[in-house]
Amino acid sequence: MFKNSMRLEFLSKSQNVSLARVAVAAFVSDIDPTLDEIEDVKVIISEVVTNAIIHGYDDNEDGIIVLEANLEGKELILKVEDKGKGIEDIDLAMTPFYSSRADLEHAGMGFMFMQSFSNSLKVNSNVGEGTSVIIKKVFESVS
C-alpha cells in the first residue's frame, strides 16, 4: 500500500493559494488519480487556504498557514491550520452564501465546495486562537 506525508508552511499571501494547489496535486500524482479527482483536490485546497487568508487573517500577509497532507492507499487526509481570529459560529460559517466579509465579492460557498468535493470535513476553531480544517478525500479510481 502506498503511503506518504508532507507538510508545507507558508505566509498568508494570496499568491500562495497556487503554491498549495500545485504542491498537493503533485503530492497525490504518485497514486495516479483521474484529472477530475485532481481538480477536486485543487478546488478544496483553493477554498480552505483562501478562507484562512481572507477570514482567518483578514488579508494580513504576515500570518502562517500550515498544510499537512497524508496519503495512505487511496485516502488523502488534508489538514490546514491557521492562527488567525477563529470562527465564532462554525454552523453559520458553513451555511451556503454566508460570508463574514460582506465587503468582499465572495459568494460564501467555500465550505459548500469543500464538502461537495470531499468525503468528510471537520472544522475546529477557537475565537482568537485560529482554525483547523481536516478534510478526507478518497480517490475512487485508484485500486
Q: DSSP for 62-80, please give it.
A: T-EEEEEEEEETTEEEEEE
The total number of structural domains that make up the chain: 1
Would 143 be classed as within a structural domain? no
Domain encompassing residue 96: 3-138
Q: What is the CATH number of the domain that holds 98?
A: 3.30.565.10
Share of the chain above pLDDT 70, in %: 88
**H or E element: which one contains 50?**
helix 35-51
Q: Which residues pair with 135 in a beta bridge?
A: 78, 121
So what's the pLDDT on residue 105?
Answer: 58
DSSP annotation of 29 reads G
Q: Has residue 46 been placed in a domain?
A: yes
Grid cell of 118 as nine digits: 470531499
Residue 74 inside a domain? The answer is yes
Whether 15 maps to a domain, the answer reads: yes
**pLDDT, tens digit, for every residue of 69-116?**
999 999 999 999 999 999 887 777 777 665 666 665 556 566 777 778
CB atoms within 10 A of CB 31: 18
In a domain, 80, yes or no: yes
Residue 81 included in any domain: yes
Which whole number is the average pLDDT over 16-32?
A: 96
Contact by Cβ (8 Å): 99, 25: no
Task: Give the three-class secondary structure for 133.
Answer: strand
Taking a C-beta distance cutoff of 8 angstroms, is the pair 82, 131 a contact? Answer: yes
